[in-house]
Chain A
Amino acid sequence: GENVEQHPSTLSVQEGDSAVIKCTYSDSASNYFPWYKQELGKRPQLIIDIRSNVGEKKDQRIAVTLNKTAKHFSLHITETQPEDSAVYFCAASMRGNAGKSTFGDGTTLTVKP
Chain B
Amino acid sequence: DGGITQSPKYLFRKEGQNVTLSCEQNLNHDAMYWYRQDPGQGLRLIYYSQIVNDFQKGDIAEGYSVSREKKESFPLTVTSAQKNPTAFYLCASTLYRGTDQPQHFGDGTRLSIL
Contact = CB atoms under 8 A, between A and B. Distances in A.
Contact of A99 (B41, B50, B102, B106): B50
A51 B98 CA distance: 14
SS class, residues of chain B in contact with chain A: loop
Contacts of A32: 99-101
B60 interface: no
Contact residues on B (Cβ < 8 Å of other chain), bracket: 20 to 34
Interface stretch (A12-20, A41-49, A61-69): A41-49
A6 to B, nearest CB: 7
Interface residues of A, number: 29
Contacts, number: 71
Interface in A32-57: 32, 34, 36, 42-46, 49, 51
A100 interface: yes
A9 interface: yes
Contact of A106 (B40, B48, B107): B40
Interface string B33-44: 100000011111
Chain A's interface: helix, strand, loop or mixed, by majority? loop
From A4, A46, A99, A101, name the one whose CB has the most chain B CB atoms within 10 angstroms: A99
Interface of B: 31, 33, 40-45, 48-50, 56, 58-59, 90, 94, 97-103, 105-108
22 contacts: A1-B59, A4-B42, A34-B102, A42-B107, A43-B105, A43-B107, A43-B108, A44-B90, A46-B102, A89-B43, A93-B99, A95-B98, A98-B97, A99-B33, A99-B50, A99-B94, A99-B97, A99-B98, A100-B99, A103-B43, A103-B44, A105-B42
